[in-house]
Chains A and B, each alone.
Chain A
């Protein structure tokens, strides 16, 4: 069987998309490029040969934490493959995986479903979900729905909310 990376459902071998959550289960790029997952996932990163070196592989079982710069708090993320960031608003059915309301998300212009963090082949990617105020990585605004690779120490802005991304090895 194959296990869906997103919802852990045990899918029948040969399935291309998870029947439970719709996540894609196979990679589809040119076979020659498959060894470098960065190129395959970020179509806009082709032709940047140094990308691989600047985007370190996460060692298996490594942890990722979100450092909320304003409040100084650090949110360690448990095992995940896809995780959405946003805020819960009263009377709205939107449930992001991580609710940033306690960190003044509303005041800082965080959308209810703002961005998605993804783990693909041990690389961390961020995807803006069409937020109103945009997602910035190190000051550059992301094009909505296009994945962008993240590195240790990168500064993300969700609207005005500052979050630093931290990678830490398992046995630290």
Chain B
């Protein structure tokens, strides 16, 4: 470990500086420090240093070799730092379009573990439609009561239930009379249909009443059914919630609910969506979600960006703290950074031919904003500039292991997405073949159960021309879960 600044810092350059920029930086520094100017011995030493730096950076081969020895570039801005990994060191000069992946990690610069967790302002929005009747409802009630008991004095929890209309059974208040509130939850009965907008709107109103900047404001929606006709209104409300700093997370129980809708609802606000296939998973899944909310360090993180000309952002995915597909439009709401889990996102860019003169391919320029509850002052935003130098050689480059690992799982999730699109387009044979390939990869990764489901669905598509609702969700969320860090994978 050496404390010497790297060659780029020495010359005041960014890592992706073009040869011309390097040349200019060197000459201006050299002019300043040249021994002929009769400067001090210290300056002469510096002069020799920049000389050495230039010797390396001017030569593309030496530079590439040197780059490989550098740790990933860190950009710090006060309390937040970012590290970017790219799938390739440089973009070869080619006529055809190429793909570049960037894995961006946002983390805290301070030891945040000891900080007190920000107070919660939560609303549980529970589906009480007839289909929830029985064990599912009992488990939901029991879990709600359990969560109520775990609240700290600073937390607020409101509960809204809905069917075709909504009812606020516990309003947002600090004044918690536990016994009374528990009784209200116990008395819940199932009835009616599922109109998510009704519940969501009441939930939004409750959260809004207790809305405070320093709190983690979050709506948790639990449903087991499809909502009809009010999806657009829900998404509009989610947009409004996001503006106000309210996150929405959606939990789908069983096989009937609309996963595309719930995923979208959650991603608009930086929240997460989850599939609960079995009744006994309701409790651990909800509690896990609460535990995450209790570990929030920075919240409402948002990336405002502009994709550069000649580049195309084709795919964006959040890898952690919670997995989920991201929309590819600015602003991107990314949810919280937890005290113990950084925020990581993966982006896929397609870049057009850099042209014969270009020395650099710009991918994206943006700004990462976040608010930290324990900090009264607004946190400075972090600039994000993604670009790659252009190289004339087309030498094979080994991508960082972390990108390979993430993509090895993400490519399976994307096979599943493609199979769904193919079924929707009536290409059943292709969809079926794709699921078989997916199954082979799953077997290679030791995912026997999921592979079996994929094969059964492949058959089902050939006969029935569609997925089974359960199988479809199982494969989607199963492949998505492969992206989670190992310790969370084996939950019962």
Contacts and interface: CB of A to CB of B under 8 A. Distances in A.
A145 B404 contact: no
A113 B445 contact: no
B466 to A, nearest CB: 14
A116 interface: yes
29 contacts: A1-B96, A7-B437, A12-B98, A12-B350, A13-B96, A14-B100, A14-B101, A16-B87, A17-B408, A17-B411, A19-B411, A19-B414, A19-B418, A22-B412, A24-B404, A26-B396, A26-B398, A26-B404, A28-B398, A84-B440, A92-B459, A93-B455, A93-B456, A93-B458, A93-B459, A94-B455, A116-B440, A129-B443, A145-B445
Given A22-B438, A116-B444, A93 B398 contact: no
Contacts of A24: 404, 408
B94 interface: yes
Interface in B86-100: 87-88, 91-92, 94, 96-100
B446 A93 contact: no
Contacts of B436: 93-95
B448 interface: yes
Contacts of B448: 130
B490 interface: no
A15 interface: yes
Interface in A42-93: 84, 92-93
Interface string A1-27: 100000100001111111111101011
Contacts of B99: 12-16
A27 B403 CA distance: 13
A113 B443 contact: yes
Contact of A16 (B91, B350, B399, B439): B399
Interface of A: 1, 7, 12-22, 24, 26-29, 31, 34, 84, 92-95, 113, 116, 127, 129-130, 144-145
Given A20-B418, A22-B412, A24-B404, 6 more contacts: A14-B98, A16-B399, A17-B411, A22-B411, A28-B399, A34-B398
Nearest to A112: B455
Interface string B447-479: 010000001101110100000000000000000
Given A15-B99, A17-B408, A130-B443, A93 B87 contact: no
> Which 10 interchain pairs have the tightest Cβ spacing?
A93-B459, A14-B99, A17-B411, A14-B98, A13-B98, A129-B443, A93-B458, A21-B437, A22-B411, A22-B441
B88 A14 contact: yes
- Among A18, A21, A95, max chain B CB count under 10 A is at A21
Contacts of B401: 28
A145 B445 CA distance: 7
A26 B444 contact: no
B415 A22 contact: yes
A54 B127 CA distance: 65
A116 B399 CA distance: 26
Contacts of B223: none
B267 interface: no
A26 B400 CA distance: 11
A15 B100 CA distance: 8
B107 to A, nearest CB: 24
A14 to B, nearest CB: 4
B444 A129 contact: yes
Nearest to B441: A22
A21 B448 CA distance: 18
A168 B460 CA distance: 41
B202 interface: no
Contacts of A127: 444
B432 interface: yes
Nearest to B350: A12
B407 interface: yes
A1 B94 CA distance: 10
Contacts of B403: 16
A111 to B, nearest CB: 10
A24 B444 CA distance: 12
A23 B436 CA distance: 13
Contact of A28 (B97, B404, B460): B404
B186 to A, nearest CB: 46
B462 A93 contact: yes
Interface string B31-56: 00000000000000000000000000
B140 to A, nearest CB: 36
